[in-house]
Structure formats: structure tokens, C-alpha cells
Amino acid sequence: MRGRDGRLLQVEEIWYAEAERGPRDDRGVDFIHATAESVDEVWSKLRRQAELADVRRSHVAVVQAS
């Protein structure tokens, strides 16, 4: 964090993780990312994002089939 004059006031450690998964069928590539204050937390969030992407993908497939 920086003050209005540009001086460094505080450093916050933030972890960033990202992943992409190749296409299943013809639906394109999934790209997911997460940020957190610890390594364990960021990987946990990334895993949840991947699971949500699977749910969304399944929902789209069901809607398109009906």
C-alpha cells in the first residue's frame, strides 16, 4: 500500500493462482483464477472455482440437450 505521495506504507502478501483446462467436446478452454493471503487458501479457492466450472459446464450441456 502506498501513501498519496507514493511512499510505501505497508506490504500485504497476496498469493495468486491460475489454471486452465483444455476443451471437453467443443466448449472451449476453462480459465480460472483465485487470490488469497496464504498458499493453502489460494489453492483451496482455485479448487472451488474448478468445481464451479464443472457445474456450469454440466448445466450448459443439460440446457442445450433439452
29, 42 in Cβ contact below 8 A? no
> HSE on the CB side for 17, CA within 13 Å?
16
Which residues, 6+ apart, have CB-to-CB distance to 42 below 8 Å? Answer: 15, 16, 17, 34, 35, 36
pLDDT in tens, 14-49: 999 999 877 666 667 778 999 999 999 999 999 999
pLDDT in tens, 18-27: 998 776 666 6
Cell numbers at residue 22, please? Answer: 483444455
Query: How high is the pLDDT of residue 31?
Result: 86
30, 21 in Cβ contact below 8 A? yes
Query: Would you kindly state where each structural domain of the chain is located, as residue ranges?
Result: 15-65
What does pTM read for this prediction?
0.62
45, 14 in Cβ contact below 8 A? no
